[in-house]
């Protein structure tokens, strides 16, 4: 037996392991996400992690196109599949959704709401804290030709309810509508071909001095004169003040983009209020644009107030033309994505999510009488499980003191201890490992004990 090269035991950079502590914490986050996705009526679909290369490359924007992993058989046998060149790993959840909806268009009911929680792959340069496989938890709602913008509110509210339940501190959903930015830029005579570039300038305004933003915007034309209006766009106001400001300028300017943008945004805010999203958890931020060019209306990001350095922890928006291109139909959509791997990783680092749980089961049955009583300890554990409480057994021949040490180290809440005396008189000792208290109770009272402790 030769020892395996230890360096090979560490996972490759960007593909880290999660220990039980980290996996339990991650699973809790995923459970909360799934609960709210399902609560709002989003349905699961499953698409494979492997898609046709052509499907992925047709829809990859910018640098993502250089990060797609294809497959290859390492050591193909005779008669092995020969289509490996056409197989690649998905880099997001949106392209597979678009492909799926196109393939199943006639069989789906619209509006079609779907959620998905699973891994995506990007061949990024290895770097500390950068993942090459990560879990994205997405929701999207797709309409057949039309889709009320209240669906945008539903998506955003669902994200808000998740973060509220996760209890990770104050957060703010920063909401905007790209049509408003487009309208404002039209008013200031930015050419339609420059509008994408000008929006990108506004999108990064919070990261640079105001003068730089003004200079960059003014470069789009001599009539832009950003110094006269950009501060009004960037300055924070209450939601109702921003809506009043937008109403005022849209009525004054009477430009289609501006008016539609204002109407949509105002309807989205109405929707959020109807869906009980707390006022403190959302704001209109007219500088938000999101990088991806496929967004056409509502866009949003999510900031954790105590940890702005983490960046947006969930984002999304409305896209009119993404899905339909595959089937030559108009299939407007709105979606949101939570980057779960990065989120959980950062929240663990920041101490916002605790990873002190190394046990899902609150109860352990110890085995002070040793091997001969092994099956009896299994029976005892099964009695606990029958009451609906998860329970482990510890079937290792060690002194009781050592067994209790193990139970404490693992973080169980209760240890059940039964020696020959207890077996003789059908009782058990339950030790509360938090308080140290021990109770001897009839075995038939186990359910009652846990129901009341």
**Cβ closest to a second copy, residue 100 vs residue 171:** 100
Q: Are strands 171-177 and 133-142 parallel, antiparallel or unpaired?
A: unpaired
313 contacts 295 by C-beta, under 8 angstroms? no
Query: Minimal distance in Å, beta carbon 342 to a second copy?
Result: 14
Query: Minimal distance in Å, beta carbon 254 to a second copy?
Result: 23
**Cβ closest to a second copy, residue 207 vs residue 409:** 409
**Cβ closest to a second copy, residue 294 vs residue 406:** 406
**Cβ closest to a second copy, residue 1 vs residue 399:** 1
Query: Minimal distance in Å, beta carbon 41 to a second copy?
Result: 3
Read off φ and ψ for residue 309, nearest 5 degrees: -65, -20
**Cβ closest to a second copy, residue 8 vs residue 399:** 8
**Cβ closest to a second copy, residue 153 vs residue 313:** 153
DSSP labels, 361-424: -SEEE--TT-GGGHHHHHHHHHHHHHTT--EEE------HHHHHHHHHHHT-SEEEE--HHHHH
Query: Minimal distance in Å, beta carbon 302 to a second copy?
Result: 20
**Cβ closest to a second copy, residue 104 vs residue 421:** 104
Q: Is 230 exposed, middle or buried (0-12, 13-18, 19+ CB in 10 A)?
A: buried
DSSP labels, 104-140: TGGG--SSEEEEEEEEEE--PPP-TT--SEEEEEEEE
Query: Minimal distance in Å, beta carbon 348 to a second copy?
Result: 13
Read off φ and ψ for residue 97, nearest 5 degrees: -65, -45
**Burial 66-95, CB ≥16 within 10 A → b, else e:** eebbeeeeeeeeeeeeeeeeebbbbbbbbb
- Give the Cα separation of 378 and 367 in Å (integer): 10
Query: Minimal distance in Å, beta carbon 410 to a second copy?
Result: 6
What is the SS3 assignment for 17? coil
Query: Minimal distance in Å, beta carbon 89 to a second copy?
Result: 7
Q: Which residues pair with 89 in a beta bridge?
A: 50
């Amino acid at each position: 037996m030769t020892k395996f090269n230890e360096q090979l035991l560490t996972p490759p950079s960007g593909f880290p392991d999660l220990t039980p502590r980290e996996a339990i914490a991650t699973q809790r986050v995923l459970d909360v996400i799934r609960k709210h996705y399902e609560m709002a009526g989003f349905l699961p679909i499953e698409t494979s992690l492997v898609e046709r290369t052509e499907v992925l490359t047709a829809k990859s924007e910018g640098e993502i196109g250089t990060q797609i992993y294809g497959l290859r058989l390492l050591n193909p046998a005779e008669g092995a599949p020969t289509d490996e060149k056409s197989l690649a790993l998905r880099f997001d959840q949106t392209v597979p959704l678009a492909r799926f909806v196109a393939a199943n268009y006639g069989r789906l009911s619209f509006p079609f709401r779907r959620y998905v929680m699973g891994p995506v792959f990007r061949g990024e340069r290895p770097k500390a804290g950068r993942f090459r496989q990560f879990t994205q938890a997405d929701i999207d709602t797709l309409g057949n030709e039309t889709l009320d913008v209240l669906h945008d509110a539903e998506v955003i509210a669902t994200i808000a309810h998740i973060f509220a339940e996760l209890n990770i501190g104050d957060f703010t959903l920063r909401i905007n509508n790209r049509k408003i930015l487009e309208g404002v830029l039209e008013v200031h005579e930015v050419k339609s071909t420059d509008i994408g570039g000008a929006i990108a300038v506004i999108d990064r305004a919070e990261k640079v001095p105001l003068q730089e933003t003004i200079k960059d915007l003014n470069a789009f034309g001599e009539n832009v004169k950003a110094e006269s209006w950009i501060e009004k766009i960037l300055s924070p106001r209450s939601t109702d003040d921003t809506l009043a400001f937008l109403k005022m300028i849209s009525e004054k300017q009477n430009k289609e983009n501006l008016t539609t943008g204002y109407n949509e945004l105002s309807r989205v805010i109405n929707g959020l209020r109807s869906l009980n999203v707390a006022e403190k958890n959302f704001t209109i931020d007219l500088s938000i644009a999101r990088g991806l060019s496929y967004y056409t209306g509502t866009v949003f990001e999510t900031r954790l107030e105590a940890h702005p350095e983490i960046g947006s922890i969930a984002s999304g928006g409305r896209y009119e033309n993404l899905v339909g291109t595959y089937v030559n139909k108009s299939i407007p959509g709105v979606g949101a994505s939570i980057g779960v791997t990065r989120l959980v990783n950062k929240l663990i680092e920041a101490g916002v999510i605790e990873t002190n749980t190394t046990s899902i089961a609150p109860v352990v049955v110890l085995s002070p009488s040793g091997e001969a009583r092994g099956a009896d300890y299994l029976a005892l554990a099964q009695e606990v499980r029958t009451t609906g409480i998860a329970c482990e057994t510890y079937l290792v021949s060690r002194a009781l003191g050592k067994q209790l040490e193990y139970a404490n180290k693992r973080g169980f809440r209760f240890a059940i201890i039964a020696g020959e005396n207890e077996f003789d008189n059908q009782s058990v000792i339950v030790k509360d490992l938090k308080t140290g208290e021990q109770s001897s109770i009839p075995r038939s009272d186990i359910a009652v004990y846990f129901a009341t402790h």
